[in-house]
Structure 1
Amino acid sequence: MFNYLAPPNACYEFERIYSTQQWAKKQRWISDYLFKYQPDIIAFQEVFSIESLHVLVQQQGYDYFAVVDEPDIVDDFIYTRPVVAIASRFAIKDVAVVCHDTELAQALGLSRDFSFSRRVLRATVDVPHIGDSDCYVVHFKSKRAMFAMDEAHKAWSAEKTIIEHLKTDIAGGWASTVQRGSEATLLMIDIITRREHTQNPMILMGDFNNNLADGVLSHLLTNSLRFASAVDCNNYLAKYCLNDAWELFIKSQKSSTDPAQQTTATEFIRTPTHYYAASSAVLDYILLSCEFDAGYLGSFYEVSRYDVVDEHLINPVFERDDQSTDHAVVMITLTLRS
């Protein structure tokens, strides 16, 4: 949502306040997106104005909306620590905040008071044909360094200042990596435990602030065990694993017998979801359990489309996109298997 905060409140700093015109443009961009693409379930990050978003999605036909946290407020109008949210056209039957295993966290070397940088939302949604499905909404810790350099030493030389900045960036960047990886690990453990008890299909959506291929988050896609046979993995393990919707889409296209749906290998180029200076990366993901994997014998759905809405980033129109968002929007279409 990129700082979704209604004026006259400010995000992070007292002067960062949308004008009435800017806020109207931001609201319009979101409404236009929902009207054009009509997603059935949508996850949001960087939400400050919860009630405002609730009203907006209701106006677009979303009868179900949930959050599990509130932002922090300083001096009555400066908002920090935004929250995640979910809206759905299907009934949300239960909402909960994911609470990690504190004993496991300490066993991993984390402090007793470890917490997610943003609370993870779990909404159990009544999805057509498969019923109760657990939808997780995340916004993992960013790569922004967790430490700031001590500015007290104003007499430092230019070289000394650079050296201290370097050390702070290295340590602070690693601290953020540890936080992000720990969040993903503890969440995945909770997801597996929940699956064991309920057998609900699983959907994980959000801004991961990291490429999944990076070792920091790669365990979210663990699908093999060294000590387990291939038969056991096929019979049991697949039920507790998550799959990248992009990979499921490619699998579905390659196995399609419909020439109109088949895609050549050269067309399987993944679109970035975030751009920074001259670089780009895929930071936003939708992960799915085996019920949505066409290659799984007991699946109900397959990923028939995978779209990335990024026109506001690569070809923006000021009047339309000035107050949009700094990430592309990932969308998938699930088709019931015949």
Structure 2
Amino acid sequence: MSFRISTFNALNLNSAGLGFIGRLDARPLTAEEYAAKTGAIATELTALAPDIVGFQEVFSEAALRDACGRSPEMGDMEVHAPFAQPVPDPLGPAGQLVSDGPHVGIASRFPLVGQPSMITDFRPEAAPVVPVGRHSAMSELHLLGITAFERPLLRAEVAVDGLPGLVVLVAHLKSKRPKFLPGEDLDDPVIQALGAMRSLIVRACEAAALRAQVVAERESWVGGKRRPVVVLGDLNDDLGSVTTQMICGGKPYLSGGQTAVSRSTWRFRTRDMMLSAFEIAPPPPGQGHTHVFGGKASVIDHILMSADFAPVEGRQRARVLASGTRNAHLAPIVVGAALPPVEPFDPAAIQAKLREEAERPPRDPLTEHPRDARTDTPELGFDHGFPFADVELFPTP
């Protein structure tokens, strides 16, 4: 049996007429805009045809159910975004509803075991304690007051024959957008650095807490084997970053003059290891990025998988056949009109463009900086691509 896993940043998906808490400059969608937005999501989901998909930036569970219901590929799926519910407007008239968020959600063609749960607080073992002192000298220990996810995790157990106990964690970690304090001069370069530092600290704490959740899930055995785990989400950093690698865990590489890794070390280091689907089955050229900002393409939306999905000795129960990204996130969405067709994948054209780029004279990185593609992304569109992985289960012995 084979199935497709995906993750999908829906960019401020909300019900028509509902405002956003804390976003005074974000106006509610009109009925026409809402129809265009949910129709565009349905179009992308129909093209992706995922069997399990995690969502980010959901402000309304009702809107997510509506968008999924408009796709013929998604009509029979369970859809959940438990925290994406309208709440009374704390600043508006009595009875007026607004949307809190953004939150995460999930849709699954496979049945879920019970209801998905939302995880707000860090596990106790992930308490962020920071030593202060040079090298190993710890003169002081400081407990950071960061003990909860800014955007709670969603945990769902999915009933997939051949992968008993499969847990899917849907995440949306803190972005790189700087966190400024009231009254700070946002044009001050030092303040800008401090704002970026604060965001990085929050994301690092969240990454460590997500790692603790992965390890706890893996320590739960089902059918005599460790529980398989998949993390779907916008982690707001690339695969090689410190924060994303914190979630993945160390790999059993040789170091310090070693010539071999012992079997016990191998099994210990791989038992809780997470691998990107893009590592296991690299996507075709041109399909490897999920985000464009400042003219630079990167992968910040990830499908991370436990060793059950990779050729790791003694652990593999499934394999990733292929991976890729549907990069329609820069296509405009016009109210009352369908999405334009996505350009077909053409390896020869990509190679020709690379050769053309290589022959150009050096550029001034300031005066000839590439356009920020996000500035052209319309309000009703998307600012992320949608990565996917096709998985095949091994026959159950």
- TM-score class normalised by the smaller sequence: 0.7 to 0.9
Distance 1:141 1:202 in 2: 22
Structure 2 CA distance for partners of 1:78 and 1:64, relative to 1, 3 Å: closer
Q: State how 1:1-338 maps to structure 2 within 5 Å.
A: 1-11=10-20, 12-13=23-24, 16-58=27-69, 60-70=74-84, 73-74=89-90, 75=92, 76-94=96-114, 95-98=116-119, 99-102=121-124, 104-108=126-130, 109-112=142-145, 114-148=147-181, 150=183, 165-198=188-221, 199-221=226-248, 222-224=250-252, 229-250=261-282, 271-313=288-330, 316=332, 318=334, 319-321=337-339, 323-337=380-394
Poorly superposed stretches of 4+, deviation over 6 Å: 225-228
Quote how far apart the aligned CAs of 1:302 are: 1.1
Provide, for residues 77-102 of structure 1, a one-character-per-residue CA deviation record: whole Å limited to 9, x for no partner. 44343110001010110422334224
- The normalised TM-score by structure 1 is 0.82
Quote how far apart the aligned CAs of 1:51 are: 2.0
Distance 1:14 1:146 in 2: 18
Segments of structure 2 that go 5 or more residues without pairing to the other structure are 1-9, 131-141, 340-377
Provide, for residues 281-313 of structure 1, a one-character-per-residue CA deviation record: whole Å limited to 9, x for no partner. 211000001111034443121111112011342
Is the Cα contact below 8 Å between 2:64 and 2:79 reproduced in 1?
no
Aligned residues: 312
Give the secondary structure class of the aligned counterpart of 1:170: helix
Provide, for residues 192-241 of structure 1, a one-character-per-residue CA deviation record: whole Å limited to 9, x for no partner. 02211232100001001111212233222222388995312332331211
Identity over aligned pairs, percent: 23
Segments of structure 1 that go 5 or more residues without pairing to the other structure are 152-160, 254-266
Distance 2:16 2:193 in 1: 37
Quote how far apart the aligned CAs of 1:112 are: 4.4
Is the Cα contact below 8 Å between 1:7 and 1:20 reproduced in 2?
yes
Quote how far apart the aligned CAs of 1:105 are: 1.3
Q: Which moved more, 1:139-148 or 1:52-61?
A: 52-61
Distance 1:215 1:93 in 2: 33
Is the Cα contact below 8 Å between 1:149 and 1:165 reproduced in 2?
no
Quote how far apart the aligned CAs of 1:270 are: 5.8
- RMSD over equivalenced CA pairs, Å: 2.7
Structure 2 CA distance for partners of 1:15 and 1:285, relative to 1, 3 Å: closer
Distance 1:9 1:150 in 2: 30
- The normalised TM-score by structure 2 is 0.71
Is the Cα contact below 8 Å between 2:13 and 2:58 reproduced in 1?
yes
Quote how far apart the aligned CAs of 1:131 are: 2.2
Distance 1:192 1:312 in 2: 33
Distance 1:38 1:229 in 2: 41
Give the structure, 1 or 2, with the largest relative contact order (CA under 8 Å, sep 6 or more): 2
Distance 2:311 2:328 in 1: 30
Provide, for residues 131-185 of structure 1, a one-character-per-residue CA deviation record: whole Å limited to 9, x for no partner. 220100000001111114616xxxxxxxxx67x6222211111010010011011
